[in-house]
Amino acid sequence: MKLRFAALAAAAVMAAGPAMADLVVPNLSYRTGPYAANGNQYADGFNDYFTLLNERDGGIGGQKIQVPECETAYNTEKGVECYESTKGNGALVYNPLSTGITYQLIPKVTADGIPMYTPGYGRTSAKDGAVFPWVFNAPANYWDGASVAVKYLLDQNGGSLEGKKIALIYHNSAFGKEPIRTLQELGKKHGFTLTELPVEPPGQEQKSQWLQIRRDKPDYVLMWGWGVMNQAAIQEAANIRFPMENFIGVWWAGGEVDVLPAGAGANGYKSLTFNGVGQDYPYYAQLKQYVVDPGKASQGGPSIGSAVYSRGMYAALVIAEAIRKAQELAGTSEVTPAQVRDGFEALNITEERMAELGLPNFGQPIVLSCANHGGEGQGRVQQWNADTKTWSLVSEFATPDAEVLEPLIQADAQAFAAENSITPATCN
């Protein structure tokens, strides 16, 4: 079955036939299964950004971008098969949108010399570029998110969480487990107790967890969820009348598809984000002119401007800027994966550059280097208004607690290096 899937995937990509000079950025998407509602939106935002560059600018540096899709169904095995079947077609960089797939691909991209970009997901310690030279996870990682959430709660409580109870309900996978160690350490520092409540994937069934929440009466609930788990959790929280303003999801639990099924019950729910919300940006007018109106939007554009769509678009933007920087450094428009890696390490996406791209004040500046593949890790909080069916930003960007996070990142990266006989690079 594996061979058959890989053969079919390879045939599909070959049929699309990217020209040899084209810039190839595979889209390892998932448009089927329990995560499809979120996966579709991200993939569409990713596709549309590159379509805009092709239609408006003729690509990047005069080279058209090809974005062949391969369906992973959010399945680690299929994700690896998609990687293997597409890497030989000139792939410059991968963005798998799955922590499980990311973990499996780290040794593969390292051996093959192909960069992987995992914004807001994947292995947190990949921020350490000396140990993970081919992996980049700016603008923020899961440990950043956990710290930003705690900083927000500190702000809401006069600077103290002493004696507070926080419950973490999480997808029982590599993804969902990522913030646990960080939250444990932050609990020690700030005096709150942490209750960990795993939910078995895909996550429709979680009544027992919410019964425990009703019984324990935590002051706050944090959620590391994705797909149908988010919808089920928000509905369950509404069912037990948990105060929604005290319920905060990770940025992957902050999409319209997560809150709309609960109707008025979702009002006040919050989530993290590392980018802006809505369509009030010049970028979307350009998208309409060059992509939507000519009928070139991915799947017809059903989710343009949604939270998850915008995050897929943002990922494509960062990849495009890395390719652009690679072309600049190499002095050629026909760049290799190794040159794109160099482009990532030299990234400096300023606020001025974001404004040029039609997205002023959309995200914080991204500055990467040999040692730092994750940037500053800033995040903020958004809140859902069920009446207007919109997200609004309710906090400014906050910087995570480096005092807690940096030792954890270094320890995890060094352990990975030791386990895999990696000699960390020397970064100037």
pLDDT at position 7 is 36
pTM (two decimals):
0.94
Q: In which residue are the tokens 């000699």 written? A: 423
Task: Report whether pLDDT(16) > 60.
Answer: no
> Do 211 and 343 fall into the same domain?
no
Task: Report whether pLDDT(178) > 70.
Answer: yes
Mean pLDDT for 333-350 is 98
Question: How many other CB atoms are found less than 10 A from the CB of residue 48?
Answer: 26
Which stretches of 257-412 are assigned E, i.e. beta strand? 270-273, 348-349, 366-367, 380-385, 390-393
| Terminal Cα-to-Cα distance of the chain (whole angstroms) | 47
> Do 337 and 393 fall into the same domain?
no
Mean pLDDT for 221-226 is 98
> Do 9 and 117 fall into the same domain?
yes
User: Cα separation of 247 and 232, whole Å?
Assistant: 14
> Do 227 and 171 fall into the same domain?
yes
CA 11 to chain centre: 29
- Nearest 5°: CA angle at 306, between 53 and 202? 115
Task: Report whether pLDDT(9) > 70.
Answer: no
* Residue numbers of the domain that contains 173: 146-277+379-407
> Do 217 and 156 fall into the same domain?
yes
> Do 91 and 132 fall into the same domain?
yes
> Percentage of residues in the chain with pLDDT exceeding 70?
95
Q: What are phi and psi of 301, to 5 degrees?
A: 80, 35
User: Is the distance from CB of 123 to CB of 132 less than 8 angstroms?
Assistant: yes
Mean pLDDT for 119-145 is 97
pLDDT at position 21 is 56
Measured CA to CA in angstroms, residue 113 lies from 135, 220, 340 at distances of 10, 43, 10
User: Cα separation of 334 and 329, whole Å?
Assistant: 12
Task: Report whether pLDDT(20) > 90.
Answer: no
Does a structural domain hold residue 321?
A: yes
pLDDT at position 428 is 77
Mean pLDDT for 290-306 is 97
Does a structural domain hold residue 420?
A: no
Which residues, other chains included, contact 137 with Cβ-Cβ below 8 Å and sequence gap of 6+? 117, 118, 119, 120, 121, 122, 123, 124, 126, 127, 373, 374
Does a structural domain hold residue 305?
A: yes
Mean pLDDT for 295-314 is 97
Does a structural domain hold residue 249?
A: yes
Does a structural domain hold residue 412?
A: no
pLDDT tens digits for range 359-378: 999 999 999 999 999 999 99
pLDDT at position 46 is 98
> Do 166 and 79 fall into the same domain?
no
> Do 113 and 153 fall into the same domain?
no
> Do 125 and 55 fall into the same domain?
yes
Which residues, other chains included, contact 290 with Cβ-Cβ below 8 Å and sequence gap of 6+? 51, 52, 55, 56, 296
Amino acid, single-letter form, for residue 419? E
Does a structural domain hold residue 12?
A: yes
Measured CA to CA in angstroms, residue 319 lies from 60, 151, 280, 297, 353 at distances of 11, 29, 23, 19, 14
How high is the mean pLDDT of the chain? 94
User: Is the distance from CB of 280 to CB of 358 less than 8 angstroms?
Assistant: no
> Do 183 and 157 fall into the same domain?
yes
pLDDT tens digits for range 47-90: 999 999 999 999 999 999 999 999 999 999 999 999 999 999 99
pLDDT at position 14 is 37
Does a structural domain hold residue 372?
A: yes
- Nearest 5°: CA angle at 402, between 223 and 177? 30
Mean pLDDT for 223-242 is 97
pLDDT at position 216 is 97
Long-range contacts of 87-91 (CB under 8 A, 24+ apart): 87/112, 87/114, 89/13, 89/14, 89/18, 89/24, 89/26, 90/18, 90/20, 90/22, 90/24, 91/24, 91/25, 91/26, 91/337
CATH code of the domain containing 263: 3.40.50.2300
H or E, element range at 71: strand 69-71
Q: Which of 180, 256, 189 is nearest to 222 (CA)?
A: 180
DSSP 161: -
> Do 223 and 156 fall into the same domain?
yes
DSSP 347: -
> Do 241 and 117 fall into the same domain?
no
Does a structural domain hold residue 419?
A: no
Amino acid, single-letter form, for residue 314? Y
**Number of folded domains that form the chain:** 2
